[in-house]
Structure 1
């Protein structure tokens, strides 16, 4: 969905990718982005790799800068996102940065808020959605901290599993597995219907968010832009 939004909405033509060669998540995100972006007429002008734990991204970013992309996909987690974003801006790279659900963290903006201003990320849901807030507030009340994204995902996975058990009417594992694709559940992250072949959610929209500076509070925040696409 990141590629579709970059091509269809932002009208970007050239993209570069910096990815974690040791991460299946990062490589899968990258491959899907490439396929979608190129199918929409876009061009991948640079593709550079690193390994999780690296701290110096300047060699890869220097090559990316020479390719002059409109957007740089950074499909990895917040620690490396912060480091690479800061180094990209230090090198004078002006391209829009884009990522996914690996970005959000309580410390991301402390580490690289200014460098990430104007960046986009594709997330499973909008944290400010009225249907999401009750779970957030309940979690904070009980644990005294903001929930990570996996909290919401596990919540919905539990609801899907419970619905499948009720549908199967049995504790038999195969019966429950078969029932997983026969139920549709309204969770906090959206409506979930698993595909029969992949068991992945199908037809589920993502939330496009933009990182902006709130002039009133002086703090960076995720601003919901729109729901986009479907798997």
Structure 2
């Protein structure tokens, strides 16, 4: 396993630094769904003592990224399509409202930011399609910047704060989903159409495209789970069997 030495930022505690490092590794897939997070192993990998690690893992449990099991320790939360569908519902509602506000309030500087982010997004979409490999940090950063630019003029700090939290929770699902659909989904065309509608100030069209864009990602993960390539956690299976 790759060793990651934690380097706390100025004013950051060891527990906060451990939380940040583990959170990044879980979201990016370096710590796999279902992986046991044994304190002894993590101490070796991250160079941090047991107490800061336990504090970080408890906080990650509150975020829904780690499962805290009585008397059994910690494990990375599984990829649950039902959970992602719920996250996606909330994310879509927040995103579309932020887009509508941005289209109303956005000025020339906002339009320029959208154009620049869209240009970079097109390059990264093309590179991802050509590579046909795992989703890279470059693509993720471009994707985040593209969607951030579109909503950046909404004027609501609370909308943006909740949106950022949902974005982070969705990222590891999105990495798995997008990778599985490379070659069957034209992400470049999807992003270009969204940018065109936003710059045309067509709020209804932009929101419809974003809703469809997010829904396709959620559907891809459901397809993947059905093919048994991503294990469904027991709690998801139990909810399905209880559903009418």
Q: Compute the TM-score of the two structures, normalised by the length of structure 2.
A: 0.26
Point out the structure with the larger helix share. Answer: 2
Q: Compute the TM-score of the two structures, normalised by the length of structure 1.
A: 0.27
Q: Which has the higher contact order (CA 8 A, sep 6+)?
A: 2
